[in-house]
Amino acid sequence: MLPGNEAIEAIILTVKLATLTTLVLLLIATPIAWWLSVTASRWRAPISALVTLPLVLPPSVLGFYLLVAMGPDGPLGRLTLALGWGTLSFTFIGLLIGSIIFSLPFAVQPIQHAFEAIGPRPMEVAATLRAQPLDAFFNVALPLARPGLVTAAILSFAHTVGEFGVVLMIGGNIPGKTRVVSTQIYGHVEAMEYAQAHWLAGGMVLLSFAVLLALSLMKRRLGRVLP
Amino acid sequence: MGSLTASAQAAEVSVAVASNFTAPMQKIAAAFEQDTGYKAVLAFGSTGKFYAQIRNGAPFQIMLSADDETPARLEREGFGVSGTRFTYAIGRLVLWSRQPGAVDDKGEVLSRGRFERIALADPKLSPYGAAAVEVLKGLDLMSALAPRIVQGENIAQTYQFVATGNAELGFVALSQVFADGKLTQGSAWTVPASLHTPIRQDAVVLGAGKANAAALALMAYLRNDKARTIIRSFGYNH
């Protein structure tokens, strides 16, 4: 059986979620990664641990806490209710927030490692040439960290596509809003519709392989650009 | 040594239990162990997942399904032992909110209430979800409520959506909000059984349990008065 409209809807939603997650993550993760790579603050270790936490927490834990936090008694839920936005669970925005948290370490770590690999020297040189710090950051550090940014973007995208537990916990399985490919596959398997499950699951395996292959090829090419 | 291991194994039965039957089965397993000396090792989950696992060699010896179709299918496909199937409980559906007074005892909140979201289990996966859809269609409310419906992948998750307040109300299994003959929390409308097809929950002995004394003892135990009283105290018909 060929994949139908439901599958296409789920694929479009998944790509939309992964794209937005990646864009937001690049914006958030870059300053965090920069700060982690240069600071000597005593807050560095705890913040670093906090950023890495989603990597080790089971998605069921993350999803459950997100559900509670977004609920009417949770801190996030109280805030959004007070602002007149309703609660975020079972909405696309809620899913986006969950995905950003879930993939945060996958964006921060490659960028941070790239900044650390550059070392303080290029920025010091820029400073002696009278570049303002912000100017130096955008014109020296960021271009040099490009391989890290590319890795972060690809990993964030791929990790969001592969996200399952968090979506299951806070999504509510609404077609076109919160039913992504991974939960759709799960639904097919549970409903014993193995043919449809195979189509989507097989596609997912191929896509994931392609992403990782592209990543490793790109890394080799970009790697040569670095000093 | 070999015979010791064999007898230790024979004294145990491994049971796949539909998640809506979690609470009563824990009680029944404790009573079963006390009365017979056999131990029931329980795994809780969704019927669809257990089906996939059993077909792929999961070592369960009994399945307590959330429906009557899956055990029949397992038997047809040669994974269930023929002649062992029986209905151990008939599930009751309840419209539940954790807020006292939110749900009236006639379910009129469905047509008149102001709520953002109503949770039900995925009707494709859960007989309780299918029954909920049947009720909403029967009351001619399906199209009006469709934009407000959120789905849990099983009845336990549906309960979680309502229990955390993320959905103001939802259709769950009576057994989840009912203990010792009364509602444990919030407000509820026990949906009249006439509004949906009966939720027959069947048990079946699986291939691995065919020659297991503990498995056969548990199947018999589920039909005795003690087990039936426990099952009824959680709001199931029997």
| pLDDT, tens only, A95-130 | 999 999 999 999 999 999 999 999 888 888 888 888
Return d(Cα A77, Cα A100) in angstroms, integer: 18
Which residue in B has a C-alpha nearest to residue A173's C-alpha? B151
Residue contacts between A and B (CB atoms, under 8 Å): 65
What's the CATH code of the domain at B16?
Answer: 3.40.190.10
Considering only CB atoms, which chain A residues are within 8 Å of B150? 90, 172-174
pLDDT at position B3:
44
pLDDT at position A222:
66
CA A89, A95, A100: angle at the middle one, nearest 5?
130
Report the Cα–Cα distance between both ends of chain A, in Å, rounded: 52
Are B136 and B224 members of one domain? no
Which residue in A has a C-alpha nearest to residue B168's C-alpha? A72
Task: Please tell me what DSSP assigns to residue B143.
Answer: H
Host domain of residue A211: 5-225
HSE-CB of A12 using CA atoms within 13 angstroms: 9
Contact B92, B237 (CB under 8 A): yes
pLDDT at position B4:
46
| Sign of the dihedral through C-alpha A162, A165, A167, A173 | positive
What is the three-class DSSP state of A45?
helix
The distance of B210 to chain A (nearest Cα, Å) reads 25
Are B13 and B80 members of one domain? yes
Host domain of residue B183: 93-190
- Contact status of B229 with chain A (Cβ, < 8 Å): no
Compute chain B's Rg from CA coordinates.
Answer: 19
DSSP helix, strand, coil percent of chain A (3-state; round to 5): 80, 0, 20
Are B148 and B170 members of one domain? yes
The distance of B125 to chain A (nearest Cα, Å) reads 5
- Contact status of A66 with chain B (Cβ, < 8 Å): no
HSE-CB of B126 using CA atoms within 13 angstroms: 28
Considering only CB atoms, which chain B residues are within 8 Å of A190? 46, 48-49, 52, 122, 124-125, 153
Which own/partner contact pairs does A74-81 have at CB distance under 8 Å and 24+ positions apart? A77/B165
Q: Is residue B238 part of a domain?
A: no
Section A53-81 average pLDDT: 93
Which residue in A has a C-alpha nearest to residue B47's C-alpha? A190
Q: Which helix (H) or strand (E) holds B150?
A: strand B149-152
Are B48 and B125 members of one domain? no
Are B184 and B208 members of one domain? no
- Contact status of B160 with chain A (Cβ, < 8 Å): yes
Are B135 and B208 members of one domain? no
Alpha helices in chain B (DSSP H): 2-10, 22-36, 47-55, 69-76, 109-112, 127-138, 142-145, 155-163, 174-177, 213-221, 225-233
Q: Is residue B172 part of a domain?
A: yes
Disruptive mutation site among A90, A180, A189, A193 for chain B (greatest number of B CBs within 10 Å): A90
The distance of A90 to chain B (nearest Cα, Å) reads 7
Query: Exposure pattern of A1-19 as b/e (b: 16+ CB <10 Å)?
Result: eeeeebbebbbebbeebbe
Q: What is the pTM of this model?
A: 0.83
Computed over every residue of chain A, the mean pLDDT equals: 90
Return d(Cα A123, Cα A144) in angstroms, integer: 11
Q: Is residue B106 part of a domain?
A: yes
| Number of domains making up chain A | 1
Section A69-97 average pLDDT: 93
Are B74 and B147 members of one domain? no
- Other Cβ atoms less than 10 A from the Cβ of B105: the count is 9
Are B98 and B70 members of one domain? no
A135-190: per-residue pLDDT in tens?
888 988 999 999 899 999 999 999 999 999 899 889 988 888 899 999 999 888 88
CA A62, B174, B41: angle at the middle one, nearest 5?
65
Of the candidates A147, A171, A120, A165, which has an alpha carbon nearest to the alpha carbon of residue A220?
A147
What's the CATH code of the domain at A191?
Answer: 1.10.3720.10
- Contact status of A84 with chain B (Cβ, < 8 Å): no
Edge to edge, the sheet with strand B39-45 lists B39-45, B12-18, B62-64, B199-205, B86-91
Disruptive mutation site among B126, B151, B158 for chain A (greatest number of A CBs within 10 Å): B151
- Integer angstrom CA distances of residue B159 from A150, A186, B70, B139, B153: 42, 19, 23, 22, 11
Are B120 and B167 members of one domain? yes
Are B119 and B186 members of one domain? yes
Are B86 and B97 members of one domain? no
- If pLDDT is split at 50, 70 and 90, which confidence band does A2 have? low
Per-residue model confidence as pLDDT tens for chain B (238 residues) = 344 444 445 589 999 999 889 999 999 999 999 999 999 999 998 888 899 899 888 899 999 999 999 999 999 999 999 999 999 999 999 999 999 999 998 999 999 888 999 999 999 888 999 999 999 999 999 999 999 999 998 899 999 999 999 999 999 999 999 888 789 999 999 999 999 999 999 999 999 999 899 999 999 999 999 999 999 999 898 6
Q: Cβ of B166 and A72 within 8 Å?
A: yes
| Number of domains making up chain B | 2
Return d(Cα A141, Cα A134) in angstroms, integer: 10
- Contact status of A4 with chain B (Cβ, < 8 Å): no
The distance of A19 to chain B (nearest Cα, Å) reads 24
Of the candidates B11, B123, B20, which has an alpha carbon nearest to the alpha carbon of residue B64?
B20
Q: Cβ of A71 and B160 within 8 Å?
A: no
Report the Cα–Cα distance between both ends of chain B, in Å, rounded: 43
Return d(Cα A84, Cα A79) in angstroms, integer: 9
The distance of A9 to chain B (nearest Cα, Å) reads 17
Considering only CB atoms, which chain B residues are within 8 Å of A71? 164-166
The distance of A89 to chain B (nearest Cα, Å) reads 7
- If pLDDT is split at 50, 70 and 90, which confidence band does A6 have? confident
